């Protein structure tokens, strides 16, 4: 059974968390190269980072900055920052009340299939929502987790964007638990302008305990991928 080291980073600046991810990501890739060059006594590690971010918009390498509807002054007025980053996907928002999960996995421990990896992440979120009585699923051709995805009321509750190199992953999940949804009004989320966004708080009419939801998601990720947690 693969093992995963869990780290709770709390509320952390986006760039600081990105730097932590990059360090773990590059270390893992370096170890993989050493293993492939025949060095002995080296094994790669898997990590799962949970956190929340202050208000921030991030734009993936395939996205368009036209989907950010704020100029620099308006970003400052909204106490928000903006980063162009190296994941796939378009623009998204992170902020307090959103559960962010960053798996830095060596997929050689699991399976070498990035599409399957994304579906497994989605399924863990779908299972988590189900435990709170929220029925969710997928929309064909779109990444993420949706409510009423096959209707005119389709709304996104979880966005996904990942990067992988040598089958090592980084970036991951933005799961709207108690998110301030007004901030999504400043972007065209993921470049999709005809569907809404939502949160667990909006759907259930109450705030959720972030630690509790995080623990449920942790266990569903472990179950979905078949790993155990280690210190």
Q: Is 190 one of the catalytic residues?
A: yes
The CA distances from residue 41 to 8, 16, 44, 231, in Å, are 28, 31, 10, 20
**Contact between residue 221 and residue 124 where contact means Cβ atoms under 8 Å apart:** yes
Alpha-carbon distance 145 to 157, whole Å?
6
Alpha-carbon distance 157 to 197, whole Å?
6
Alpha-carbon distance 94 to 155, whole Å?
17
CA-closest candidate to residue 46, choices 102, 98, 105, 91 = 105
Kind and range of the H or E run holding 98: strand 98-104
Catalytic residue selected from 59, 177, 190, 216: 190
Residues serving a catalytic function are 190
């Amino acid at each position: 059974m693969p093992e995963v080291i869990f780290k709770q980073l709390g509320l952390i600046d986006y760039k600081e968390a990105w730097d932590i991810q990059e360090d773990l990501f590059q270390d893992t890739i370096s170890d993989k190269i050493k293993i492939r060059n025949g060095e002995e006594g080296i094994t790669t590690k898997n990590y799962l980072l949970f956190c929340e971010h202050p208000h921030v918009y991030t734009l993936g390498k395939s996205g368009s900055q036209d989907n950010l509807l704020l100029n620099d002054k308006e970003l400052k007025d909204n106490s928000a920052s903006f980063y162009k980053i190296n994941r796939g996907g378009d623009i998204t928002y992170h902020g307090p009340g959103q559960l962010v999960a960053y798996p830095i996995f060596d997929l050689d421990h699991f399976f070498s299939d990035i599409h399957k990896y994304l579906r497994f992440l989605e399924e863990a979120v779908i299972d988590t929502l189900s435990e709170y009585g929220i029925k969710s699923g997928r929309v064909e051709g779109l990444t993420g987790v949706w409510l009423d995805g096959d209707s005119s009321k389709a709304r996104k509750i979880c966005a996904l964007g990942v990067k992988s190199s040598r089958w090592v992953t980084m970036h991951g999940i933005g799961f709207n638990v108690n998110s301030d949804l007004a901030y999504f009004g400043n972007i065209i989320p993921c470049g999709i302008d005809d569907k809404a966004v939502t949160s667990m708080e909006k759907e259930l009419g109450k705030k959720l305990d972030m630690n509790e939801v995080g623990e449920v998601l942790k266990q569903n990720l472990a179950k979905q991928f078949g790993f155990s947690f280690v210190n």
